């Protein structure tokens, strides 16, 4: 098998054994990018030179006998919402076109420290607002399974890069499902760690109380290795949890779920769910039972209010977080002709620099926080947040993990929901509760929908700091399904 077909763990082993150099691995992936990314458009920026430079440095350190981590020399695609000193950082927005930050995000720093070779920056919905990557100012990314369809979003560049073998690993951020949903619709693994388990420092904020960096990979173990590489306490992020990273790699290697109590959330079914999605989900639940898990159905009644609460809380925080993009200190400036005031220039800059979805959410958030509306909208949404946390708490008294489909439908065609924000927002129906309560949750492939032959994801939700449970159950499902399918789901994807 070619180097690009290997998993991160396999590449790590080959590199450690000296059977292949980091430069060779990086070059193989850069070649793959050159070959397919013209069609997929996963990357906004490919840093070929800096990648090879990093690879050479890893090779040199290894040659010098240095003890390196399990992912040293393994390539990675990095979502373009994390700051990088050596590459532009745009958050998918015109307002940051060509912007080069003077500092690295904590996640970026930790990737570098782990010896991961950053191939480039991946496409996303502008400021991570979206579920399709169509909201990027730099054009959409295409789903490797069907180039006419969306790769999910907002981390669609990262999911597509991994699903099209341009990188074995990538980073994402998950605010309402932006890792799990893209992973589900591209047939790969995507994990949202516990909120505060991975640092937000240098992650360009969408919604501060929800944003969570996490890994993408083609299998559960790789995701766990990457999770471990960049997670953990960071003094630069006040909301970072001061606790050890849960034993995710061990859990991914073990994958034993005998006796585990699994809860099926009753609310995540019915109208709006694609038939094929529900069918594959039910099979996954049966599979869990057959592997020795005790499955119960339970109700989390306030989950049905998660979507509206999210579409108040996230835009409210975003309206404030995005105020700094005003053309005064960095980024785009429009209309400064010497006669206009700062106020006018700010308004012209923001009107020209932000896309429609961003403007929509800024205004929605501004509305929800306005005097006279605060209590009914933002205030009520925060109460729903409390109710959702209580539902999780009650559920986790009965079960160890909760499961649901990751997303109600498979990948939809590019353009289909572009003019219908409400329809677009439904993509995150099942993923949002875990963001509101800060829980850990993962999406693993569980088959193809009969009606369109596209990937379906199984979401596994665990309590706060129970990230290892996601990996344990994910690994069990993955192994059983691979045995059944004779390999990973991704081998069903058409060749590019």
Span 452-481, contacts to another protein by CB under 8 A: 464
C-alpha span between 74 and 47 (Å, rounded): 15
| Structure tokens, 340 | 């206009």
Strands 261-265 and 189-192: unpaired
Q: Which of 24, 320, 492, 496 binds another protein (CB under 8 A)?
A: 320
**C-alpha 131: how far from chain center:** 11
- 63 or 235: CB nearest another protein: 235
- 164 or 171: CB nearest another protein: 171
Residue 62 beta carbon to another protein: minimum distance, rounded to whole angstroms: 31
Radius of gyration of the chain (CA): 21
The answer to whether the beta carbons of residues 106 and 115 sit under 8 Å apart is: no
**CA-based max dimension of the chain:** 73
178 is catalytic: yes
Q: Kindly identify the residues of this chain, within the stretch 9-68, that bind another protein according to CB under 8 A.
A: none
Q: Per CB under 8 A, which region of 29-37, 40-48, 340-348, 402-410 contacts another protein?
A: 340-348
Does 423 engage in binding with another protein (CB under 8 A)? no
Q: Which of 68, 421, 453, 492 binds another protein (CB under 8 A)?
A: 421
- 62 or 385: CB nearest another protein: 385
Does 91 engage in binding with another protein (CB under 8 A)? yes
Does 340 engage in binding with another protein (CB under 8 A)? yes
94 is catalytic: no
- 266 or 359: CB nearest another protein: 359
Dihedral angle over CA of 282, 288, 292, 298, nearest 10? -60
Residue 437 beta carbon to another protein: minimum distance, rounded to whole angstroms: 7
Task: Give me the residue label for tokens 């191939």.
Answer: 119
Catalytic residue from among 136, 155, 158, 178: 178
Does 343 engage in binding with another protein (CB under 8 A)? yes
* DSSP state at residue 301: G
- 194 or 406: CB nearest another protein: 194
Q: Kindly identify the residues of this chain, within the stretch 359-388, that bind another protein according to CB under 8 A.
A: 359-360, 362-364, 366-367, 369-371, 374, 376-387
C-alpha span between 281 and 482 (Å, rounded): 16
Query: Which residue, 110, 117, 142, is CA-closest to 43?
Result: 142
Does 99 engage in binding with another protein (CB under 8 A)? yes
Give the H/E segment covering residue 16. Answer: helix 8-16
Q: What does the per-residue mask of binding to another protein show for 187-206, with x meaning CB under 8 A?
A: --------xx---xxxxxx-
| Structure tokens, 204 | 């360009």
Does 327 engage in binding with another protein (CB under 8 A)? yes
What is the separation, in whole angstroms, between the first and last Cα of the chain?
Answer: 16
- 165 or 378: CB nearest another protein: 378
**Phi, psi (deg, nearest 5) at residue 491:** -70, -15
Query: Which residue, 200, 180, 15, 27, is CA-closest to 114?
Result: 15
341 is catalytic: no
Q: What does the per-residue mask of binding to another protein show for 290-319, with x meaning CB under 8 A?
A: ------------x--x--xx-xx---xx-x
| Structure tokens, 94 | 């015109």
Residues annotated as part of the active site: 79, 154, 178
């Amino acid at each position: 098998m070619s180097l690009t077909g290997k998993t991160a763990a396999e590449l790590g082993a080959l590199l450690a054994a000296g059977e292949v150099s980091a430069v060779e691995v990086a070059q193989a992936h850069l070649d793959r990018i050159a070959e397919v990314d013209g069609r997929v458009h996963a990357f906004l920026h490919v840093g070929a030179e800096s990648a090879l430079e990093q690879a050479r440095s890893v090779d040199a350190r290894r040659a010098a006998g240095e003890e390196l981590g399990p992912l040293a020399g393994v390539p990675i695609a990095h979502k373009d919402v994390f700051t990088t000193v050596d590459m532009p950082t745009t958050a998918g927005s015109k307002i940051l076109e060509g912007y080069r930050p003077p500092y690295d995000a904590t996640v970026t720093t930790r990737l570098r420290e782990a010896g991961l070779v950053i191939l480039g920056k991946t496409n996303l919905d502008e400021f991570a607002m979206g579920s399709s990557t169509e909201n990027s100012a730099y054009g959409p990314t295409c789903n490797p399974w069907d180039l006419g369809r969306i790769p999910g979003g907002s981390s669609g560049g990262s999911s597509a890069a991994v699903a099209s073998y341009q990188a074995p690993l990538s980073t994402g951020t998950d605010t309402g499902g932006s890792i799990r949903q893209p992973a589900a619709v591209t047939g790969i693994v995507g994990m949202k760690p516990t909120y505060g388990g991975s640092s937000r420092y240098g992650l360009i904020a969408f919604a501060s109380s929800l944003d969570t960096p996490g890994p993408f990979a083609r299998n559960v173990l790789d995701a766990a290795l990457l999770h471990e590489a960049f997670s953990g306490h960071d003094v630069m992020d006040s909301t970072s949890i001061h606790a050890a990273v849960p034993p995710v790699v061990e859990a991914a290697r073990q994958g034993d779920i005998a006796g585990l109590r699994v809860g099926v959330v009753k609310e995540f079914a019915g109208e709006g769910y694609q038939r094929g999605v529900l069918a594959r989900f039910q099979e996954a639940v049966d599979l869990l039972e057959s592997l020795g898990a005790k499955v119960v159905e339970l109700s989390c009644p306030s989950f049905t209010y998660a979507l509206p609460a999210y579409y108040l809380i996230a835009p409210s925080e975003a309206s404030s977080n995005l105020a700094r993009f005003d053309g005064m200190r960095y980024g785009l400036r429009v209309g400064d002709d010497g006669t206009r005031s700062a106020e006018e220039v700010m308004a012209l800059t923001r009107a020209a620099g932000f896309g429609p979805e961003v403007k929509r959410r800024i205004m929605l958030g501004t509305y929800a926080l306005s005097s006279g509306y605060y209590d009914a909208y933002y205030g009520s949404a925060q109460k729903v947040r409390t109710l959702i946390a209580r539902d999780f708490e009650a559920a986790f008294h009965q079960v160890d993990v909760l499961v649901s489909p990751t997303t109600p439908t498979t990948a939809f065609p590019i353009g289909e929901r572009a003019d219908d924000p409400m329809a677009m927002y439904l993509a995150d129906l099942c993923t949002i509760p875990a963001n509101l309560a800060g829980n850990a949750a993962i999406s693993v492939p569980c088959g193809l929908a009969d009606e369109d032959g596209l990937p379906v994801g199984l979401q596994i939700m665990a309590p706060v700091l129970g990230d290892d449970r996601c990996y344990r159950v994910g690994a069990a499902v993955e192994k059983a399904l691979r045995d059944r399918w004779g390999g990973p789901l991704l081998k069903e994807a058409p060749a590019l």
